[in-house]
Amino acid sequence: MRRGGLVVLVLPSVLYLVVMFVYPFGYGVFLSLHPAKGASGASLANYLGFFGDPWQLRTIAVTASIAVPNTIVTVLLALAVAYAMRRGIWAERAITTLLVLPIALGTVLVAEGINGFYGPKGWLNQLLQLAGVADLPRLTHNYTGVMIALFVQHFPFCFLMLLGYISGIDPALESSARVLGARPWVVFRRVMWPLIAPGAAIAFALVFVMNFGVFPSAVLVGQPAGATRTIAIAAYQQAFEHYDMSMASAIAVVMGLCQLLGLAVVVALRGRLAATGVATVGAGKR
């Protein structure tokens, strides 16, 4: 059988992504360097404009103040729970199935649900009132609301990802460490963590990148004109409210660079990340 011939079968999909993904990206970068008004040549005016305007520049700080703490909390909790569940728990299938719900339903529905459930007249506040809490907290249409929405969305994502990863580690490794006299904490620290760390690093990177691109939650459960005006909102407004595609592209590029920076930090913290590819669905026992 001629072995080379088959490889052409990847071409349609590769071509598609080149035209619909790589090209627009390049076009976006090009566009961002050619401001709608003003000079005809390439210029950094858009970028200078963005970084010179406190109202725009602030979006980076706002987005980071949401993305960084949220990612840390999400990954740490997901890691702890997934590790505790590594050998299965009661009603596991039911629990994991329920956890898929927010992933499948998507941000918009979760946002609407949070507005109801966590809202001023929602069940949670009613419960708190019943419990005698006098000063009811405000949980929606502000920073807290966005944090809740992102956590509800990304905790299951991160947890399922890590559960799949951790359950793929040969249980015999842990058993043999125990037999050799290691206590549970020592087993985690010396045997399991080194194996889990690359997966945890990738999970961290993915969650951070998603958090940094937050859009619908920031609009629907946040305060899109103030406390939760994230960089994605700024880009959207430039594109579809001011019709300045050039500036919008510049903001999208800045957003991409911030996400890249997050990835770079993770990679720097874990040199071994490179040794671990992100594969796909399929393997693992759960």
Q: What is the dihedral of CA 5, 6, 8, 10, to 10 degrees?
A: -160
Identify which of residues 45 and 258 has a Cβ nearer to other proteins in the complex.
258
DSSP string, 64-88: HHHHHHHHHHHHHHHHHHHHHTTT-
Provide, rounded to whole angstroms, the least separation between the CB of residue 157 and other proteins: 5
Q: How far is the CB of 39 from other proteins (least distance, A)?
A: 20
Q: Which is nearer to other proteins, 54 or 285 (CB)?
A: 285
- Least distance to other proteins, CB of residue 194, Å: 11
CB of 281 to other proteins, least distance (A): 4
Residue number with CB closer to other proteins (16 or 193): 16
Dist CA 10 CA 216 (whole Å): 34
To other proteins, the closest distance from the beta carbon of 286 in angstroms equals 5
Least distance between other proteins and beta carbon 139 (Å): 12
What are the structure tokens assigned to 81, written together?
């729970």
Q: Which residue, 69 or 184, has its beta carbon nearer to other proteins?
A: 184
Task: From residue 42, give the alpha-carbon distance in Å to each of 25, 30, 32, 249, 273.
Answer: 17, 8, 9, 14, 37
DSSP string over 127-161 = HHHHTT-SSPPP-SSSHHHHHHHHHHHHHHHHHHH
Query: Least distance in Å: CB of 51 to other proteins?
Result: 18
- As given in the structure block, the two tokens for residue 9 are 């079968």
Cα–Cα distance measured from residue 152 to residue 220, given in angstroms and rounded to the nearest whole number: 15
The residue (of 61 and 278) whose beta carbon lies closer to other proteins is: 278
- State the DSSP code for 222: S
Q: Which lies closer to other proteins via its Cβ, residue 45 or residue 209?
A: 209
CB atoms within 10 A of CB 127: 10
Report the residue number, 45 or 157, with the smaller CB distance to other proteins.
157
Buried residues in 44-65 as b, exposed as e (16+ CB within 10 A): ebbbeebeeeeebeebbebbbe
